[in-house]
Each structure stands twice: as structure tokens, then as C-alpha cells.
Amino acid sequence: MLKKLILLVWLAASPAALAAPVIVVLGDSLSSGYGLPAGSGWVALLEARLRAQGYPHQVVNASVSGETTLGGRNRVTGLLERHRPDVLIVALGGNDGLRGLAPETTRANLAAIIEAAQARGSRVLLAGIRLPPNYGRPYIEKFQALFPELARRYGVSLVPFLLEGFGERLEFFQADGIHPSASAQTLMLDNVWPALQPLLGAHPGPRRTSREGMEES
């Protein structure tokens, strides 16, 4: 009987059982850390914030500079199978808009990504983006409307605008005027955090440091 109990405890404590929940970020250059020093992008800051607040989650940054929603749609199945994320953050669409792709195409690609994630039990956070005014009001309105439409349709969490609060302030952008600078990365994380935190589960509390310098949970 004792041996059986030990076996059950060992199985419960196996790596599969103890694996930390995973957050996958599927984005473009705004999330890949384009033009930034290593470790200073908002996704890296997210991982640091999770650790500081005692969350066990691991973060996988699957963002690729120049990625479109079609590219994300083509990659998402492999990412879901490989990482089995508890949460998938979808931060795509900006390159679709800058290329003037049909909003209906962008909507269909994002819908496919969301459906694939939900079919595998992942919770989804969708991050919206806005376009410069030179793309014309009719196109901009159709493009920006697709993010809240998808959030309502699939019941997923939404960040209305990833660059909220600084999107028109050039001092928060690199020389190209497109990619946020290092000083903007905390602002981006602060835009994501309120929508993400409810998806993380119970809050375990921040880690503390003992007098001996050891981390305590």
C-alpha cells in the first residue's frame, strides 16, 4: 500500500504535472523587440513582472518582425502543439493594415487563429492596432472595428489599442517613427496587463527575499 502511495505521489510530481503554465505571444515587430536592446521589449518586461509578482508562467515570444495575420495563421497550429499555451496573446494586424489588405481577409485570419487556440483549450487575448489617418477614414474604420467584433464574437479578452496613450507622441518612437522605443515598452505592457491578469488564474503573491538572500514564495 505504501509503495502504491509513493508511486502516486511520484506521478503527480512528474515534470508534466509540474510544468508551469505557458503564455505565447504571437505578434509582429511591435512585440518582437525590433530595434531594441535585448531584454527591453514589452514581452521581456512581461516575463519579469510575472516573476516579480509570483506567477509561475513561462513566456514564449513567437513574434516575428514583418509578420501578417496570414503568417500567424500558418504558424499557430505548430506553436499550439509545441507549447500548449494556457494563454495566447495575438498581437497581429498592423502589417496587414500598412499593406492595405482587405479587412475581411485580416478578420478571417484572426478568426482562424482564435478558433485554433480555443479548440486546444487556450485562452486568448487579442491586441488591437490603429492606422495612421492617411489610409482614409472608410478603410481605417473597417480595419479598427474588426478587433472588438472578433472579441465579442469569440468571447476573448481585448486590448483595444496596443499603443494606447502614446501612439501619436513621436518621442516614444524610434527614428523610423513606426516602432516604439525602449521608453515606450512599459507603457505597452501596462496596456496589456489589465486584460491579461484575469486570465492568469489565482494570484500567488509576490516573491520575498529573506535575510539570507534566498527567494521565498
Quote the pLDDT of residue 19.
Answer: 84
Which has the closest alpha carbon to 64: 79, 52, 54, 51?
79
Pseudo-torsion of CA 14, 199, 113, 92, nearest 10°? -120
Q: How many residues are present in the chain? A: 217
Q: Which domains does the chain have, with CATH numbers?
A: 21-198 (3.40.50.1110)
Helix (H, G, I), strand (E, B) or coil at 72: helix
pLDDT digits (tens, 9 = 90+) for 4-14: 544 444 444 44
Stated pTM of the model: 0.86
Q: Cell for 124?
A: 486568448
Q: What percentage of the chain carries pLDDT values higher than 90?
A: 82
| Segment (H or E) for 191 | helix 185-196
Phi/psi for 171 (5° steps) reads -65, -15
pLDDT digits (tens, 9 = 90+) for 91-126: 999 999 999 999 999 999 999 999 999 999 999 999
pLDDT digits (tens, 9 = 90+) for 140-158: 999 999 999 999 999 999 9
One-letter amino acid identity for 98? L
- Enumerate the active-site residues: 29, 176, 179
One-letter amino acid identity for 169? R
